[in-house]
Chains A and B, each alone.
Chain A
Amino acid sequence: MTFQYAPAPESTAIVNINSSNDLFINGEFTPGHGNPFKTINPATEEVLAEIAHANEEDVNAAVMAARKAYDKTWSKMSGRDRGKYLFRIARLIQERSRELAVLETLDNGKPIRESRDVDIPIAAAHFFYHAGWADKLEFAGYGDNPRPLGVVAQVIPWNFPLLMLAWKIAPALATGNTVVLKPAETTSLTALLFAEICQQADLPPGVVNIITGAGETGRMLVEHPDVNKVAFTGSTAVGQAIQRQIAGTHKRLTLELGGKAANIVFDDAPIDQAVEGIVNGIFFNQGHVCCAGSRLLLQESIAEQTIDSLKRRLVTLRLGDPLDKNTDIGAINSREQLDRIIDLTKSGEDEGAQRWSPDCVIPQKGFWFAPTVFTNVTQAHRIAREEIFGPVLSVLTFRTPDEAIEKANNTPYGLSAGIWTEKGSRILAMANKVRAGVVWANTFNRFDPTSPFGGYKESGFGREGGVQGLGAYLTSEETS
């Protein structure tokens, strides 16, 4: 008999989903004035809840509430007191972590193992980390009296809903700014639960406002004249549109956009761990990761052996019910995204790359895509250039370190890279030459609030996390 793992689903009883959800403005849940929309569980296509749609009136109200909170309370509050609120929020995230994890998995489709062990703990860690900064900003290297910017408009993606919220809200609040945040249309629920946590923490009204809606809501928010700063994480196309929209205004901008990261494996790499790193690099979160290691660059001398090891490993990946604690690959977040992945993988086949997937049973309902590896990929293929944002790996080879650098850098993106070698000097030399904001050595997709994250070129600008991330929310000039 073989070792079968019996289903081990996490119970959904812990989370109570409201059938209809309001906007969170000025500390209160208030109905939206647009047409509500539905959010579904991408693993089953069942409707989870109805979500309010913020129209212009709602956006105005939210920005006004944020302005009032900024002028009257938050910018005047001592750093130590702001820190207390942030610590309180961090602890509440930990206390309600199971609830948040289950909700995230239901709404996003990611495996519970990841929402439980990665998304929620790191979200809490970001609040803890920035809570510590709140009363120490004059020592952060931004002058002896760094000032907040004012009202910050934040628009976040659907791949790490609560974690991206934490990356945005924690530094903004720690530095004394107030926030209007718009979560992605398909993943609003944990942001709304976070709003509840703000209430629970007695955060002064208006410091955090959450408005839900589609792209149009986001556009109105970033264009609002009373917004001092825009922070956006999402696609390069939308990031470029935002940059155009706010050109000529006083607004500050940080963009965290797409990527097509090279994961470079040398012949002296620790192969078993490199294989884990390749898997974690591209199949973590179904590949819905802007910094995913979607281009594997293998040194030719070990290419065949490494691809064999990788395939053997991929056979053990478990695709299915995201709530099952043993699931490794969950659902694709939306039909739209699934269609994009299907289209790009088809182009890979048409252009002559070799496609491989392990045998796995795809559930009848929901949006699913089997882990996929393309070999014989060249720089000229679309799958080597365009961000797929799915569980699809393109494998290329190189002969020398110089060639690896050339290929790694030959992309309009520059968010992240991975280097696998046991030779320390080579790690340092490569890291200096790779044009990417984040370079991982002998690991991949590791995130920590103390470490700045952000890109080069079309991957955006500005850093989030670490002392560097504070700079995006501070000025040394006196603000109004």
Chain B
Amino acid sequence: MSSLDSQPVDSQSPNLQTPSSHKGLEALLAGLSGVDQVGAEARAAALGTRSIKKESKMWAIDTAISMVDLTTLEGADTPGKVAAMCSKALHPDPTDPSTPSVAAVCVYGDLVPAAREVVGDRIHVAAVATAFPSGRASLGVKLLDTREAVAAGADEIDMVIDRGAFLAGNFGKVFEEIVAIKEACGDAHLKVILETGELKTLDNVRKASWLAMKAGADFIKTSTGKVAPAATLPVTLVMLEAVRDYYTQTNVRIGVKAAGGIKTSKDAIKYLVVVNETVGDAWLTPDLFRFGASTLLNDLLQQRQKMLSGHYSGPDYVTID
């Protein structure tokens, strides 16, 4: 173990001792326009008042279901629990086969085989890696964590950034880590968790978003779900603005995942409105927008049943997992 801490175990891991090589990155981050928190919150709140009814609500609910990364990240997770969640992910509403599958299941790395066994290649399997949720481990450990998850069958990796390094102003370190993990991912998609609840300011959210995109993130993700507040509408708005500006500059579309704290269909629809009116409907696909959630799915299913039947069912008419 000590060898992991004291020296790079990976010959390909970048040298973290050359801060001078990050001048360009630092200049880019310093040059970003600021975010006025009051204004950003007001904009998110105003978009939250959009009234989505009838066929547009039905469309939004189905789209939201198809964007869910159905998640269990507990110490008590077992192969049995994960298998149950995976069958729900494939057929969220057993009473209605027209219900779309969710986008992916999201589990700890050691449970990837259990998940893959159930879902096959019908939906994605995402693994949290890199010493999730704190990220407090050496790069070697994080790389190993990532490689093992990919080897076990994960095609999406949800990594956490080193918030300590970010807050200390060591952007180069955060950048290098993302670059290294991206390389370790191989073909797997990389979602970079900013843990915005620890970054605190919207200026930091914008900086971290750009840093992650520049380092090769396929998705930027708000939160681990282990820190409050998790996803919020203003934070997601600022991340979407960053994604939009990055696309304007590079023509590359980066995805956004809002994770944690989104519990109701009404909330989910607000996020879709923010996506629609910030980056446009090209992003309204599971390839570019995801919800990291567990309880949200059942609320979406109950709303869907209500839209179709005209009356509310109840918690016993959707499955617990």
Cβ–Cβ < 8 Å partners of B277 in chain A: 316
Binds B, one of A3-11, A125-133, A157-165: A3-11
**A454 on interface, CB distance cutoff 8 Å:** no
**A450 on interface, CB distance cutoff 8 Å:** no
**A325 on interface, CB distance cutoff 8 Å:** yes
- Could you give, for residues 269-309 of chain A, a 1 whenever the CB lies within 8 Å of some chain B CB and a 0 otherwise? 11111001100000000000000000000000000000000
Cβ–Cβ < 8 Å partners of B50 in chain A: 5, 325-326
Cβ–Cβ < 8 Å partners of B49 in chain A: 113, 117, 325
- Could you give, for residues 23-55 of chain B, a 1 whenever the CB lies within 8 Å of some chain A CB and a 0 otherwise? 000000000011110111011000001111111
CB of B247 to closest CB in A, whole Å: 12
Which residues does B use to contact A, with CB under 8 Å? 33-36, 38-40, 42-43, 49-57, 59-60, 63, 238, 241, 272-273, 276-277, 281, 284
Jot down 14 A-B pairs with beta carbons below 8 A, ordered by A: A1-B59, A2-B284, A3-B276, A5-B50, A6-B52, A6-B55, A8-B53, A268-B34, A270-B36, A272-B39, A272-B241, A273-B39, A273-B43, A325-B49
Asked if B281 and A273 make an inter-chain contact with CB atoms under 8 angstroms apart, the answer reads no
CB of A393 to closest CB in B, whole Å: 18
Which residues does A use to contact B, with CB under 8 Å? 1-8, 113, 117, 268-273, 276-277, 316, 325-326, 422, 442-443
Chain A residue nearest to B284 (CB atoms) is A3
Cβ–Cβ < 8 Å partners of A443 in chain B: 38-39
Known A-B contacts A270-B33, A270-B34, A272-B33; the reply to A3 vs B39 at CB < 8 A is: no
Cβ–Cβ < 8 Å partners of B63 in chain A: 3
Please indicate which of the listed interface residues A273, A325, A422 has the most CB atoms of chain B within 10 Å of its own CB: A273
CB-based A-B contact count at 8 angstroms = 71
Known A-B contacts A3-B60, A4-B56; the reply to A422 vs B34 at CB < 8 A is: yes
Asked if B57 and A269 make an inter-chain contact with CB atoms under 8 angstroms apart, the answer reads no
CB of B269 to closest CB in A, whole Å: 10
CB of A421 to closest CB in B, whole Å: 9
Cβ–Cβ < 8 Å partners of B241 in chain A: 272
Known A-B contacts A1-B59, A3-B59, A276-B43; the reply to A442 vs B53 at CB < 8 A is: no
Asked if B52 and A5 make an inter-chain contact with CB atoms under 8 angstroms apart, the answer reads yes
Asked if B38 and A442 make an inter-chain contact with CB atoms under 8 angstroms apart, the answer reads yes
Chain A residue nearest to B52 (CB atoms) is A5
CB of A307 to closest CB in B, whole Å: 14
**In the bound complex, what is the Cα–Cα distance between A382 and B163 (angstroms)?**
54
Known A-B contacts A268-B34, A273-B40, A442-B39; the reply to A3 vs B281 at CB < 8 A is: yes
**In the bound complex, what is the Cα–Cα distance between A422 and B42 (angstroms)?**
17
Asked if A276 and B42 make an inter-chain contact with CB atoms under 8 angstroms apart, the answer reads yes
Cβ–Cβ < 8 Å partners of A272 in chain B: 33, 35, 39-40, 43, 238, 241
Chain B residue nearest to A2 (CB atoms) is B281
Asked if B53 and A6 make an inter-chain contact with CB atoms under 8 angstroms apart, the answer reads yes
Beyond A272-B35, A272-B40, A325-B49, 19 additional pairs, beta carbon < 8 A:
A2-B281, A2-B284, A3-B60, A3-B272, A3-B273, A4-B55, A5-B51, A5-B52, A6-B57, A113-B49, A269-B34, A270-B34, A271-B33, A272-B39, A273-B40, A273-B43, A325-B51, A326-B50, A422-B36
**In the bound complex, what is the Cα–Cα distance between A272 and B238 (angstroms)?**
9
Asked if B53 and A270 make an inter-chain contact with CB atoms under 8 angstroms apart, the answer reads no
CB of A53 to closest CB in B, whole Å: 38
Please indicate which of the listed interface residues B36, B49, B54 has the most CB atoms of chain A within 10 Å of its own CB: B36
Please indicate which of the listed interface residues B39, B241, B273 has the most CB atoms of chain A within 10 Å of its own CB: B39
CB of B196 to closest CB in A, whole Å: 17
